[in-house]
Structure 1
């Protein structure tokens, strides 16, 4: 009979996600994970095998939590411009209220690891594809109901919006005020009605 590890794997993954998100992959040691997660080293290795696999599972958890909620946020707004305004307003609020200025986990991972790890690159590409698919579907709905009047193809607009999202998260890591971010958002949203 196997020994009970005595911890909830889901809770540990949630905490690990926060540690990696705040510190980054390379700056997070096994010892810092042990300290933050409250799990001994042997149990950590027995459950997750190595730091890299723990990181991958924590990253996948972040993706699930964030990508899966996108349609729920957007579908509340029939007007697609209002839907994106609401989504990005939430992002700006998060940027300004986060005392650690840790940014978006996906964007942080992209800048730190995308060129160093094939598995992570694959996860990042999968994440981008899912987000763009959600955005494309939503924009197509806007073209049908008239809230999006741009003649640019929906998939191209979706890619541009994802690029803006990533850029906003990078700029947001040093932002102190919401007003310039909100002004930029309003200018950017004009692409959907141009």
Structure 2
């Protein structure tokens, strides 16, 4: 009978995600991961594979944990302006959470995009495209129900919102200032008037 693993996989994955989120891929060592995940080197490799595979799994986990909630806010919004208000309020809270590394895992990794593996690059591109589509769909819904003028270019505006989303993540990471984030967040729905 093999030795029983002494850790909960999801808890270990969450810890790895937070470590990559905080330190980036290159800044995270195997000992950092072993320490944060509270597992041995052999358990890390047996369960998650190499560091790159663990990063890819952490990105997917982050997308399920944080990304789906954010996209759900946009998809279930009653109106475009309310959806953006709710989204960016939650976005600000998540980016500045006291127990969080600051900003966003996807944004933080994107800064070092050229140094990432191909699968990680693809995962990041997919997450960015998915968020752009969520913004686009919300704006189109706003145009269909008459809330937004038909002249609003939903694609360009979705891309602007995407840039603001990731820019806010960088500000949260660098400044960590809730007043700045709140000012930006509250200004976004007014861009549509």
TM-score, structure 2 as length reference: 0.87
- RMSD (Å) for aligned C-alpha atoms: 2.2
Cα distance, 1:100 vs. partner?
6.2
Cα distance, 1:176 vs. partner?
5.0
Q: For residue 34 of structure 1, what is the aligned residue in structure 2?
A: 34
Q: For residue 65 of structure 2, what is the aligned residue in structure 1?
A: 65
Corresponding residue SS for 1:173: helix
Q: For residue 12 of structure 1, what is the aligned residue in structure 2?
A: 12
Corresponding residue SS for 2:174: coil
Q: CA 1:171 to 1:79, structure 2 compared with 1: closer, same or farther past 3 Å?
A: same
Pairing 1:75-154 to 2, within 5 Å after superposition = 75-98=75-98, 102-112=102-112, 114-117=113-116, 118-149=118-149, 151-154=151-154
1:132–1:159 Cα contact (<8 Å) kept: yes
Q: 1: CA distance between counterparts of 2:114 and 2:28?
A: 19
Q: 2: CA distance between counterparts of 1:116 and 1:130?
A: 22
Cα distance, 1:143 vs. partner?
0.9
Q: CA 1:68 to 1:101, structure 2 compared with 1: closer, same or farther past 3 Å?
A: closer
2:15–2:37 Cα contact (<8 Å) kept: yes
1:101–1:172 Cα contact (<8 Å) kept: no
Q: 2: CA distance between counterparts of 1:100 and 1:71?
A: 20
Which stretches in structure 2 are left out of the alignment for 5+ residues?
none
1:150–1:191 Cα contact (<8 Å) kept: no
Q: 2: CA distance between counterparts of 1:180 and 1:49?
A: 40
Q: CA 1:50 to 1:110, structure 2 compared with 1: closer, same or farther past 3 Å?
A: same
Cα distance, 1:105 vs. partner?
0.8
Q: For residue 167 of structure 2, what is the aligned residue in structure 1?
A: 167
Moved more, 56-65 or 174-183: 174-183
For the pair 1:45 / 2:45, whether they are aligned, the reply is yes
Q: CA 1:72 to 1:57, structure 2 compared with 1: closer, same or farther past 3 Å?
A: same
Q: How many residues align?
A: 192
Q: For residue 182 of structure 1, what is the aligned residue in structure 2?
A: 182
